[in-house]
Structure 1
Amino acid sequence: MSDKPSVLFVCVHNAGRSQMAAAWLTHLAGDRIEVRSAGSNPSDTINPAAVEAMAEAGIDISAETPKILTVDAVKESDVCITMGCGDTCPVFPGKRYLDWQLEDPSGQDVAAVRRIRDDIKFLVEGLIKEILPEESK
């Protein structure tokens, strides 16, 4: 297990919110934080509007694929952030759990997904300040 903090982002389909959050955290924190994402009922592909919105921000998520949420992914993460997946995330003692209330980008146009993308970036920036406080000064 790595000594750097690890974060798991979970949404239902792992095609929009959790993928954008993982991409933002990777982009903004680099290799200082280990990043995972998964879904309780993953889609076959990433949401095209999410791909386009992230590309506009200079981040390419087109090669990502939705992944199923596993018990191991939760066990291996210090922080588990859910986004609209209810109680499907297994709970383990000693883990930090957050639930980010974000609109679901599924079926939305790029303009709507841009707002969700920007909300996620704001939340991720706050998360980085919490997880890496010594580096945020």
Structure 2
Amino acid sequence: MLSALARHLPPALRRHRLVTPGTPLTWHRRLVRWKWRQTPAGPGRPPLAEETVALIQRLARENPAWGYVRIQGELRRLGHRIAAATIRRVLRRSGLPPAPQRASRQAWREPGASGSSSVTETVSLPPHSMPSWLTTAQPSS
């Protein structure tokens, strides 16, 4: 390409060329040869450290209601920067389901499992009960 452009130079400048027309072609051939001799790069990111995988699994087992993003936040507070998708991948490989399914496996129906020993009472209201401030007519101006 440079040799083609060099033909369009005025004759005075053509005499002062630093390279011959074949030199850029030689450079290009060397570049192509070098490019195809390179070994391909490795297969993506390096794997997570085993301590980090164990920490993710431990957080998920001890806190079944935590989702991927919550685990990611806790790991970030501990100094680990890991994406939520990576956490999802680790938990899926280790056989741990997503947070709603992990939380439903917890025996929350057993007495005392929720941490409170008393039973909550429900208050039932009559079907048409309304507060008095809603039933009083507003004065018109």
Q: What range describes the TM-score normalised by the shorter chain of this pair?
A: under 0.3
- How high is the TM-score relative to the length of structure 2? 0.19
Q: Please tell me whether Structure 1 or Structure 2 has the larger radius of gyration of its CA atoms.
A: 2
> Larger RCO: Structure 1 or Structure 2 (Cα < 8 Å, ≥ 6 residues apart)?
1
- Give the structure with the higher percent strand: 1
- How high is the TM-score relative to the length of structure 1? 0.19
